[in-house]
Amino acid sequence: MTKRIPLALVGVGKIARDQHIPSIAGGADFELAAAVSRHGKVDGVDNFENFDAFLTARPDVKVVSLCTPPEVRFDMAKKAIAAGRDVLMEKPPATTLGEAEALSALAAEAGVTLFATWHSRFALGVEPARLWLSDKTIKTVSIVWKEDVRRWHPGQAWIWEPGGFGVFDPGINALSILTAVVPGPILVERSTLEFPENKKQPIAASIAMRTVDGAPVSAEFDWRQEGPQTWDITIETDQGLLRLSKGGSELYIGDALHTAGPDREYAGIYERFGALIRARESDTDYQPLRLVADSFLCGERKVVASFED
């Protein structure tokens, strides 16, 4: 068995504990050697409260996984790249396209691996959906992505601040699947963004888009859905209907279930990261982030009732 690569986890919050730590432990490529967080700690590894202190103290740890909120990620990624470390970035990879593109250029110049992850692309139904669609003509695409922010982001005030993305934090998952399975660019035409009067980021969004060939694409995002959660993408083609449900974990062709199984999204991320490091390559597709940016540029702002979470 190949020796595991020492890795530092930066940002020990809910997503790190729920997904990153188990996926690192369950995979074959990496060994968690250090953690960096102002508030959380991981048992059995070196823990640091300061990222600069980690870089100085552990030059042997050549790989970092950045799970912090996006607004602080650029400076950390820049320092890690300058120190010759390979970098994985949780989604969304950066606060702006400018930051994201700058990091890609810095990584290329330094010769390190940079991986901008989109975990929903590793859902079980996504790659089979891409393959099925590859020889079809797409007629329409409909995205309905509605969930309860209180359930999935409890106490995370940063998501409502500038750079926090609001409902686009989960919505960008749908856009990452869209841009993975539909060939060619997706173009935003217009959007309506609903801002609670006491928040700085939207709680809901309605987006009209089109494929480069002109097929209409609609997306409805909402963070106020209680009860059953909805993560569906339906694509009508010249040869029938395709539906990705439950965030891409279930694929239906027509009415028949084609692909389903247990969640391996983050396991897939770390397998991909290991392969990129071995090949000394990077993977930095920022198309989902561009669609978010374009939705703000084309967006009509609508103020709605205050929201308390």
Catalytic site positions = 91
Strand locations in the chain, DSSP E?
5-10, 30-36, 46-48, 63-66, 86-89, 114-116, 138-146, 186-196, 204-211, 216-222, 230-237, 240-245, 250-253, 256-259, 299-304
- What gap in Å lies between CA 174 and CA 246, rounded to an integer? 11
- What gap in Å lies between CA 230 and CA 221, rounded to an integer? 10
- What gap in Å lies between CA 114 and CA 255, rounded to an integer? 39
- Residue 224 has phi, psi (to 5 degrees) of -110, 15
Partnered with residue 220 across adjacent β-strands are 144, 206
Is residue 242 a contact partner of residue 133, using CB atoms and an 8 Å limit?
Answer: yes
